[in-house]
Amino acid sequence: MEITEKILDVVMTKQIFGTAMVILITFLLVSIFNKAIEKIIIKGKNTYEIKRRKTIVRLFQSIFKYLLIIIAFLIILDFYGVDTKSLIASLGVAGVVLGLALQDTVKDLISGTMLIMENYLAVGDIVTYNNFTGEVIELGLRTTKIKGFDGEVMIIANRNIDTIINASQKKATLYINIPTAYEEKVDKVEKVLTNVIEQAKIDKIVLPDSAYLGVNGFQDSAVNYLIYVVCNQDDRYKVNREILKRVKLAYDKAKVKIPYEQIEVHHGQDI
């Protein structure tokens, strides 16, 4: 009985019980804040707006989490008799010294915050940096990660983001050449391609500005017919594949020929 009481006395001390309660309350506050801010902020009129708001939410969540951790740490130190006021003053001086020593890091933090708050970049955007094109998969306070279409990931310091090109804030425009056999009548081909585009608009595969443009050139064995497609940046590769698929199906149905290379072999005595 005495052992139990001694254990309880130790456990219920300010240092142990108080520390445990501070950690628990900090964890609960972070969880509640994360869920609440997601419900409040992550609502948008379009995909781009939702992506931007998700990025802002992640920034606020990180700031709130680290702020609470610092406060909890100071409270716990106070439980153990540490003079937190002197510690805070010392941290202020140390912060100035570190700020001078880590100027690039500070620039990264400031640039990362401005990028997010000024709506310059968001997770999911398609961007180009030094001829490297890919999707923003992570936008942090110090660095930004871009994943190329071949799977490679580029990590950029946020202070260099002023040289990046963001393509997601405008619509993608695709010019698709459709090679068609010379013997096919132009009127027939144009009708088939126009129907493909019009049906794609109805199915919301492409945007209303998309259109069939006309004959775009002559190859050795084919006439090129040009399609102009407008779509969301994130969907441009998927839309390109879908349009080509629909053209092939429409050509098969209308019995329009797509040319392919053929080689004729002659024996010497037959020439």
- Predicted model pTM: 0.49
CB of 225 closer than 8 Å to CB of 218: no
Whether residue 121 sits in one domain with residue 63: no
- Per the structure, the count of domains in the chain is 3
Q: Please indicate, yes or no, whether residues 66 and 130 belong to a single structural domain of this protein.
A: no
Percent of the chain at pLDDT above 70? 70
Question: Token pair 């997010």 is at which residue?
Answer: 116
Residue 66 has pLDDT above 90, yes or no: no
129 with 179, same domain: the answer is no
- Same-domain pairing of 178 and 157: no
- Confidence at 150, pLDDT banded by 50, 70, 90: confident
Burial class (CB in 10 A: 0-12, 13-18, 19+), 210: buried
pLDDT in tens, 72-108: 888 887 777 777 766 666 666 556 655 555 566 666 6
pLDDT tens-digit map of 15-39: 677 788 888 888 888 888 878 777 7
Strand, helix or coil for residue 214: strand
The set of residues, in sequence order, having a beta carbon less than 8 Å from that of 259 and lying 6+ positions away, is: 179, 180, 181, 182, 221, 222
- What CATH number did the domain enclosing 232 receive? 3.30.70.100
Residue 21 resides in a domain: yes
